[in-house]
Amino acid sequence: MVNFKQLAEQYRSELLDRVVPFWLNKSQDTDFGGYFTCLDRDGSVYDTDKFIWLQGREVWMFAKLYNTVEPRQEWLDAAIQGAEFLKKHGHDGNLNWYFALDREGHPLVEPYNIFSYTFATIAFGQLSIALASAAKRGCVCGCNTATPEELSAEYASIAKRTFDIVLSKTDNPKGRWNKAATGARSLKTFDLPMILCNVALEIEALLEPAFLQKAIDDCLHEVMDVFYRPELGLIVEALGKDGNLVDCFDGRKLNPGHAIEAMWFVMDLGKRLQRPELIQKAVDICLAEVEYGWDKEFGGIFYFMDRLGKPRHELEFDQKLWWVHLETLISLIKGYQLTGDERCLKWFERVHDYTWNHFRDPEYPEWYGYLNRQGEVLLPLKGGKWKGCFHVPRGLMNVWRILEDLASRP
């Protein structure tokens, strides 16, 4: 019998007593603004470059904590200082968001990566909501140049305008930085419609209802009707522009973590739209992906797989990554919460045991990100170019709140 109350406290304590204080105290750059994300095992900074999508994720995380957990002033202040750094240095003046900056905010990598845009969107959107809430309570925002109301309106505008740019780039996300040769094989990838499912809900309060509905419908169609392949029972990472499977490295690639993460986005949309059949389909796909991606020999979920069982070119294909397992925990417990499907609960217990036993660092706060296939730590770092203040705290927060709900039920 699962003790939901005890588990909820385990996730809550890990989030609020260890992980959030780690980022709050170790990552903020008090001299130049923004956040350090290249943090070693103990939180010491080993590189000072700043990556826009991780800056945006951290702004979002502190704002989300403020909005959904507790309106702590330190969380709001941490989010605002990161947003102000992004506003000043993160784009070219026309909201084309760079990929990387140096510590002081000088551009290092051009705005080729659309995920810099998507995470800027949710960062400024979530923070605008936090500031509107703070204004109603008469709170200060720690900014000397504007009131909470003024900042909220400014950030909402940045979020909406950036989202418009994202939508305009969906057919060619990299724009003029696309390296493909003229006339080369053209593929569309799963990652963008997947993340747009989440972005649309994150900034729902800032969008016109009709516009929001179309965005949701388009995303759901792409995820559930195009990239989900009934003949495989799985979601593929790339398809030809005509929607057909392609036999090449990218066309055969499967990423179970991406697919599983997308399914909790879809479950949230199914709940919002009052479509239980959509929720159940997402649960079934999630379970199929976990079954398929689980390493039967060593445990854990593979990073990349090949739908035809052929060799992968990514050298890290068999690694076990933090974000894959945290997103899986969210999807499984959410699936159980919304449907009562006991398969979700059994898999949740299995993935929970693996994740807590392998990724959690018992000596220092925050979690490891990279394990080899056998489950041994490959890199002791807590943050870098790809890992920041996002998947661990977001995963802990989501699972904690769902477990609390389950614990409160008769």
Please, which pLDDT band fits residue 184 given cuts at 50, 70 and 90?
A: confident
pLDDT digits (tens, 9 = 90+) for 238-261: 999 899 999 999 999 999 999 999
Within 8 A by CB and 6+ apart from 308, the residues are 247, 252
Please, which pLDDT band fits residue 169 given cuts at 50, 70 and 90?
A: confident
The encoded tokens of residue 315 equal 């050298």
* Whole-number pLDDT of residue 179: 67
More confident residue, 147 or 377: 377
pLDDT exceeds cutoff 80 at 377 = yes
Whether this model's pTM surpasses 0.85: yes
- Report CA-CA distances (Å) from 223 to 103, 191, 195, 216, 339: 37, 9, 10, 11, 21
CA distance 186 to 99: 24
pLDDT exceeds cutoff 80 at 159 = yes
| Mean pLDDT for the stretch of residues 199-211 | 88
* Mean pLDDT, rounded, of the chain: 95
* Whole-number pLDDT of residue 133: 92
* Whole-number pLDDT of residue 211: 86
pLDDT digits (tens, 9 = 90+) for 350-375: 999 999 999 999 999 999 999 999 99
Please, which pLDDT band fits residue 194 given cuts at 50, 70 and 90?
A: confident
| Mean pLDDT for the stretch of residues 147-158 | 95
Please, which pLDDT band fits residue 266 given cuts at 50, 70 and 90?
A: very high
The half-sphere exposure of 27 on its side-chain side, counting CA atoms within 13 A, is 36
pLDDT exceeds cutoff 90 at 410 = no
| Mean pLDDT for the stretch of residues 130-147 | 80
The full set of domains in the chain, from first to last, is 33-176 (1.50.10.10)
